[in-house]
Amino acid sequence: MNQSETRAYFDSEAFRRDYHTDVPLGSFVTADGTRFALWAPTAQRVTLCLYRDCFEWDPYARIEMKRYDKGLWQHRTERILEGVYYGYEVEVDGVKRWTGDPYARACGLNGWRSMVVNLTKTNPPGWEQDRAPARGTEEIIWETHVKDFSWDPASGVSAKNRGKYLAFTETKTKIGVRGRKHTCVAYLKALDVTHVQLQPIYDYGSVDEGNDSEVYNWGYDPVNYNVPEGSYASDAVNGEVRIRELKAAVQALHENGLRVIMDVVYNHTYNLDNPLFKTVPWYFYRQQPDGSAGNGSGCGTEIASERSMCARYILDSVLYWAEEYHIDGFRFDLMGLHDVALMNRIRKALNERYGEGEKLVFGEPWCGGQSNERAGTAMAHKGNLKMLDRGVGAFCDNTRDAVKGGLFDAASAGMASGGGLDAGRLADCIRGWAGSEARFPYAAPSQTITYLSSHDDWTLWDKLVYTLGGGKYFAQMREEILRANRLAAAINFCCQGRVFMLSGEEFARTKLGIRNSYRTSIRINRLDWKRAYRNRALVDYYRGLIALRKTLPALNDKSETAADRLLEVMQIARDAAAIRMDNRGTGKSRYSEILLAFNGGREPCELALPQGKWEVLCDGKNSFAHEHPHGIRDMTVLEPISALILGRR
């Protein structure tokens, strides 16, 4: 068959019927020996190659595998081969390709050789008793990169563990005069976020795991989807070490009250020199009309999630990370390249295994280019949000751009930076765009991930510096920009949905204006713990917003009727607006109503209060006012570039 015919056959119901299998795939060690299973339906011959280490060029054993139904190739032996490295020679249409195992769960240096592993021997002490902390009233997600988190010597982490998984196991690090301020895990406990989202921690291809220098990458270039990245381990050669140390990191975060979200990139691979391609050429990949690789990801290696064995592969991988590593949630990179049916299957499977909503699932509802999915496939992009399960969330770029200005123009202003504050648009943001008449409405706030910055694009601080300071003051703490930062944060934390933030946003993290730092120096990307200490007043403002939000049912409501809580929308001035909300519900709140007021202008303005006594819960400088609230009636003043949150009993 030519490429067009092969593509049509892979997409056909006949291929699915003839070759879909649910037999466990990969290598498995049991008391009876070792089993290898590979799915390669188009192969004429498959040879298992065994190696004593991950550097050996020639295998010490070559074993012809036996073909079974459904395109399955297997080999069983009574020998216990744990610790042995392996790969396959797969012959398709006369072309022989050496490959690692697509289902590998361990590997050697740089992921080239797969390794047989007994996973029970990779568990740190107490792993069997590890449990995620109990869910609270709200989820606050804090995104970080393993290397960023602790690379700075001021982090207080020991030199050997800086930039590594094991940094998360050092839970009492400090900085400042006489070590009075926490860093790293202790800092996160004090900040009171609920979830730590780790940028890619699977094995990726852009960093040499044997190079202990400052080589850096975010890691959005997958190689082995089911193996932890080795550059974050103390030993990248021994395949067991990275597994054990990642588990220890997850365990330490759990013990300190933090759940763990994994950033997953199933929409493309690093390149076509990948086990998925080499075992079944083109099956796992979308193609353009000319036969070249699909480019919906912008990387030229777009994964065909709508094909049944590809969907099975992604689902198996998600469930594996949830079970083996106790991962508490999954953030899908370029989720718009996955089909709706797959995302709903993932949500359903996690619910069935762990309880409804126990594991978070959300992603980016867009693509990086034109996709080439099978005709008739409904994709998980913004236009199809209402087709997704209510438990599948999506980043809300509507709120992001409304608050801080357009993404593609550094000078573009938003509600917090002098761009005007329209009450109707503010109301859309507050209700998480759920049920709105906007072009891409969310069905319920349970789907809305409200955020201002992530690893992509400018940090919030850098965007505000460009807009308000002309891009000249990244390192300086100018008062107007600090006020805008606090206002932006206050609006974001008053939006229904789930709040997401880039690590360091709360201390004015800067990358010196660099927009896309995916392979920039670690010195630019690292969390600057001295800056966190200097800007502890801003950190405290975020901390107070987090504490307050958790007590307000109006903001924690994720139901489809949450928008009904908006009782009154008021335009106070061109740059100022307020929203009154029904705050009744279970929880700690003493207030039946709350009033959210924001002034993005440079002049104060008067706010006429609805009848009754209102108590100040947060203002433009003090987000802990709710701990000792004072009452006001009739009229108050909204200070320039500030927020005011009031409660009425």
Looking at the structure of the chain, the number of domains it has is 2
The rounded distance, in Å, linking the Cα atoms of 306 and 308 is: 6
Bridge partners, 92 (sequence order): 95
Please report whether residue 231 resides in a domain.
Answer: yes
- The torsion angles phi and psi of 362, rounded to 5 degrees, stand at -160, 170
Full DSSP string of 177-209:
GGG-EE-HHHHHHHHT-SEEEES--EEESSS-T
pLDDT at 184: 98
Nearest CA among 330, 432, 339 for reference residue 381: 339
Residues with catalytic function: 333, 364
pLDDT at 177: 60
Nearest CA among 214, 218, 217, 144 for reference residue 184: 144
Domain boundary among 516, 536, 554: 554
Task: Give the CATH number for residue 238.
Answer: 3.20.20.80
Please report whether residue 625 resides in a domain.
Answer: no
Bridge partners, 93 (sequence order): none
Task: Give the CATH number for residue 110.
Answer: 2.60.40.10
pLDDT at 3: 75
Nearest CA among 98, 304, 302, 275 for reference residue 202: 275
The rounded distance, in Å, linking the Cα atoms of 306 and 378 is: 9
Q: Where in the sequence is the domain holding 297, given as residue range(s)? A: 140-396+422-554
The rounded distance, in Å, linking the Cα atoms of 32 and 478 is: 68
Cα distances from 11 to residues 211, 308, 606, in angstroms, run 41, 9, 63
pLDDT at 1: 66
Residues 497 and 546 in one domain: yes
Residues 52 and 190 in one domain: no
Residues 115 and 184 in one domain: no
Instruction: Give the 3-state secondary structure of residue 571.
Output: strand
Residues 82 and 162 in one domain: no
Bridge partners, 181 (sequence order): 175
Residues 66 and 156 in one domain: no
Domain boundary among 554, 587, 615: 554
Residues 371 and 510 in one domain: yes
Q: How is residue 208 written in tokens?
A: 């040499």
Please report whether residue 334 resides in a domain.
Answer: yes
Could you list the mean pLDDT of each consecutive 10-residue stretch along the chain, which spans 649 residues?
83 97 97 97 98 95 98 98 98 97 98 97 98 95 98 96 98 81 96 98 96 90 98 97 98 98 98 97 95 93 98 98 98 98 98 97 94 94 94 96 94 96 96 74 92 97 95 89 98 98 98 95 96 96 98 95 95 96 86 97 95 96 94 94 97
Q: What is the CA radius of gyration of the chain?
A: 26
Residues 158 and 223 in one domain: yes
Please report whether residue 610 resides in a domain.
Answer: no
Residues 162 and 265 in one domain: yes
Nearest CA among 242, 240, 222, 221 for reference residue 230: 242
Please report whether residue 186 resides in a domain.
Answer: yes
- β-strand pairing of 635-638 with 95-99: unpaired
Residues 306 and 217 in one domain: yes
Nearest CA among 279, 266, 364 for reference residue 311: 266
Instruction: Give the 3-state secondary structure of residue 128.
Output: helix
- Which residue type is seen at 405? G
Instruction: Give the 3-state secondary structure of residue 353.
Output: helix
Residues 374 and 250 in one domain: yes
Nearest CA among 53, 46, 248 for reference residue 166: 248
Helix or strand holding residue 636 (H, E):
strand 635-638
Please report whether residue 584 resides in a domain.
Answer: no
Please report whether residue 415 resides in a domain.
Answer: no
User: Are the beta carbons of 84 and 65 closer than 8 angstroms?
Assistant: no
Helix or strand holding residue 99 (H, E):
strand 95-99
- The secondary structure of the chain in percent helix, strand, coil, rounded to multiples of 5, reads 30, 25, 45
Q: How is residue 317 written in tokens?
A: 């991988």
Residues 389 and 511 in one domain: yes
pTM above 0.85, yes or no: yes
DSSP 70: G
Domain boundary among 532, 554, 576: 554
Helix or strand holding residue 227 (H, E):
strand 222-228
The rounded distance, in Å, linking the Cα atoms of 520 and 94 is: 43
Residues 105 and 156 in one domain: no
Please report whether residue 356 resides in a domain.
Answer: yes
Nearest CA among 381, 386, 380, 423 for reference residue 402: 423
